[in-house]
Amino acid sequence: MTVFCLGSINCDNVYRMDALPAPGETLSAHGFSQGLGGKGVNQSIAALRAGSRVVHIGAIGQGDAWVEDQLVRHGVALDAIARVAQPTGHAIVAVDARGENQIIIYSGANLAQSPDLIAQTLAQAVPDDTLLLQNETSHQAVAAATARARGMRVFYSAAPFALEPLKAVLPHVTHLLVNAGEAKALIDATGIALADQPVEAVIVTHGARGAEWITAGADPIFVPAFSVKPIDTTGAGDCFAGVLAAALDQGHTAHRSLTLAAAAAALQVTRPGAAAAMPDSDQIGAFLAAR
């Protein structure tokens, strides 16, 4: 099986700070680094390192050799990545001493996806392959409809949360991933309980508490989070989503998939960065074996 991902590709500019700035406040950073990021590529790398075959569909600025080199270094093939006139997306990430962050993103090339490239790439898919989506690119609904027509699973991370994009893609989604705040916003906006949403499963992450799998007519499956000391929480949700999709793609049960995803996210937050911090399957297995 294969995990396809239509997803954002960003250059992350990360500033290390003792505390995050309050509104109107100017603070100095004591550290700076630059790395590959974006919800989409983070999820692709997480799924790839968890042992799945991954095809990333995306867009970057023309002649952006640094990003191309980073993608290749992380094992992401360039075959389905367009080079467009818009600059590569980027993010400004501030991380405090507790590992909490503030993030500003500029979408750039992520909103210039090619419908033809999406169609050509998904034409390679077979039933039971998986498509990962997030709310950081254009053409999400088109890609989701194409995937479902081919019998694929469609995972949608509803982040950054926005109701209209979610409503457009939801008829084609099989697995909806939201955090607790996004889940509440969805219920408030639709008046529909999570178990009654028109999907096979809703997966809700509760941060340090854990995550639950909700389906109609069944008791929720809850997996607690693993206790670790975080260094950087950037990309933790993406790590969880990518590993969850990979685990299901590999035939694991819902409970086992949640457990693997929770372990991966716990490992990821103990490392600096986003894409570079994603653990591999051996590291996830060793982490679980130690507990």
Q: What is the CATH number of the domain that holds 83?
A: 3.40.1190.20
Does residue 92 lie within any of the structural domains?
no
Note the pLDDT of residue 273. Answer: 85
Q: Does residue 62 belong to any structural domain of this protein?
A: yes
| Residue 9: predicted pLDDT | 97
Please report the pLDDT score of residue 204 as a whole number.
Answer: 98
Q: Please report whether residue 250 resides in a domain.
A: yes
Burial class from Cβ neighbours inside 10 Å (0-12, 13-18, 19+) for residue 123 reads: exposed
Sequence-separated (6 or more) residues with CB below 8 Å from residue 243? 46, 47, 50, 260, 261, 264, 265, 284
Of how many residues is the chain composed? 291
Q: What is the pTM of this model?
A: 0.93
Q: Which domain holds residue 168?
A: 2-9+38-87+115-289
Cα→Cα distances 110→40, 118, 161, 263, Å: 10, 13, 16, 29
Residue 99 lies in a domain: no
**What is the total count of domains within the chain?**
1
Q: Report yes or no on 23 lying in a domain.
A: no
- pLDDT value at residue 141: 97
96 part of a folded domain: no
- pLDDT recorded at residue 166: 94
pLDDT of residue 55: 98
- Dmax over CA atoms of the chain, in Å, equals 52
Could you tell me if residue 242 is inside a domain?
yes
Domain assignment of residue 108, yes or no: no
- Amino acid symbol at 196: D
Residues of the chain with pLDDT under 50: none
DSSP 263: H
